[in-house]
Structure 1
Amino acid sequence: MKNRLLLIVLLLAVSAPFAIAQERSNVSFGILGGINFQNLNGELPNGDKLENDMLLGYHVGVNVQIPIAPEFYFQPGLMYSIKGAKNTYTALGSEFTDEIKINYLEVPLNLVYKAPLGSGFFMLGFGPYVAYGISGKQVFEGNSLTLERGVDYKDFDAGANIFAGYETAGGLFLQLDTQFGMLNIIPDDSSDDQSTAKNTGFGLSLGYRF
């Protein structure tokens, strides 16, 4: 029940600005998608840092851009994003991979500055995000063997977004995104309760605003 309530709150948080936007002028909507390069950073119980490789994932979503001052906009959105980490190592002459993938519904709440540049606009945005993990899995592959199991991480995550990009006069835009997770997603009742793991990463988004 608690998890469902959190999901409902996330959906309401992003649907309210969309509803308000429909009643205001000079408001635009955007669709976007792209690739993620994600990692889980943190510490082991002995104090050593987690050593993972970047996981290649993707994200898709929508947002609404609401003017609040000249050249400044409030930009809430709703995203589906794949995060996690990957490890590759060699043992007994064979190569093995261990991937953790967590699927999130994410609500970014960004403040965006847009300055005219050429025939389009330079964009710089930043703000918090909240996210809810809807599913996840760990996949181990190697030596003609594939094993898959569920993952045990906290459902709720939050952190900060920073992005920069360019939007053409026709509405097509490209942006580089960076995220810093601020919450430890290791469960409090885990046997690894002295460990920490936080979502971090960057990505590239292509979108269209109309």
Structure 2
Amino acid sequence: MREKLYILTLALVFTGSLAMAQCVESERVSIAVRSGANLQKFDERGSDGRIQKNYLLPGVHFGMNVNIPVSSDFHFQTGFLIVTKGSKSVGETSTTTRLSYLEMPLDLVYKKPWGNGYIMLGFGPYVARGFGGHVTTGSGAVEFSRDIKFTDPAKDDGLSWTPYFERMDVGANMFVGYMMSSGLFFQVNTQQGLVKINPTYNQYPGDRSSIKNMGFGVSLGYKF
């Protein structure tokens, strides 16, 4: 169901983008590339609903943006990013989870001239599709790693050693940045996942566990 929603969102976004692009001067529609670093962790609750302690994990992101003006001050911005997310927990053993996503932001961006460039403030949802990852568990010099398997809810019995996650992620995104007249820009963003990415198991009807992505990052980019 989430994958169908993801495909439908892609179709609607790019259909709408083409329609908006026809309503403005074509030279004002721009493409940018950007990359940067993330600090991510899980917003996690255990099976009893209690908040679990997790630590920030460094990651990276890179990709491209399409910027479409809708008025003199507001723009619609979308695109595609490869993003690594995850989290780290520490106890008797430490567990590090790394997830890789293809992510599409859907932001409304306000741009205000300032100096030789302009300030940018953007906010909106994002949708993402997981395509890889692994979980590393260990204590001291002894560690072992397992590849993540993406699954729909209730398809696994929860008894295997394979770490399972749901493939689709949806959340909210906000950023602030500054673009120079040359096209070079810098921005800081924060994200909060809105749907849980851990699967639901039928044999645990009272399970209240929930894992959501959250974090922030910095980007450096260039608008063509």
Matching residue of 2:126: 129
Q: Give the match for residue 63 of structure 1.
A: 65
Greater share of strand: 1
Q: Is the Cα contact below 8 Å between 2:6 and 2:127 reproduced in 1?
A: no
- Identical residues among aligned pairs (%): 39
2:79 corresponds to: 77
| TM-score with structure 1 setting the length | 0.87
CA distance, structure 2, for counterparts of residue 69 and residue 141 of structure 1: 54
The one-letter code matched in structure 2 to 1:50 is Q
2:83–2:102 CA contact under 8 A, matched in 1: yes
Q: How many residues align?
A: 204
Q: What residue is the counterpart of 1:171 in the other structure?
A: 183
1:49 and 2:51 correspond:
yes
Query: Match of 1:28?
Result: 30
What stretches of structure 2 of length at least 5 have no aligned partner? 149-162
- Determine the C-alpha separation between the residues in 1 that align with 2:29 and 2:187: 20
- Which residue of structure 1 aligns with residue 116 of structure 2? 119
Query: Which residue of 154, 165, 168 corresponds with 2:166?
Result: 154
State the partner residue of 2:215.
201
SS of 2:106's partner is strand
The alignment partner of 1:51 has SS state of coil
CA–CA distance in structure 2, aligned partners of residues 74 and 43 of structure 1: 34
How far off its partner does 1:133 sit? 1.1
RMSD: 2.3
Q: For residue 126 of structure 1, give the secondary structure of its aligned residue in structure 2.
A: strand
**What do residues 149-202 of structure 1 show as CA deviations (whole Å, max 9, x unaligned)?**
123111111111100010000001100000011111121227584201111110
CA distance in 1 between partners of 2:53 and 2:38 (Å): 18
Letter in 1 for 2:40: Q
Give the Cα–Cα distance (whole angstroms) in 2 for the partners of residues 188 and 182 of structure 1.
16
CA contact (8 A) 1:21 1:64 kept: no
Matched with 2:153 is: none
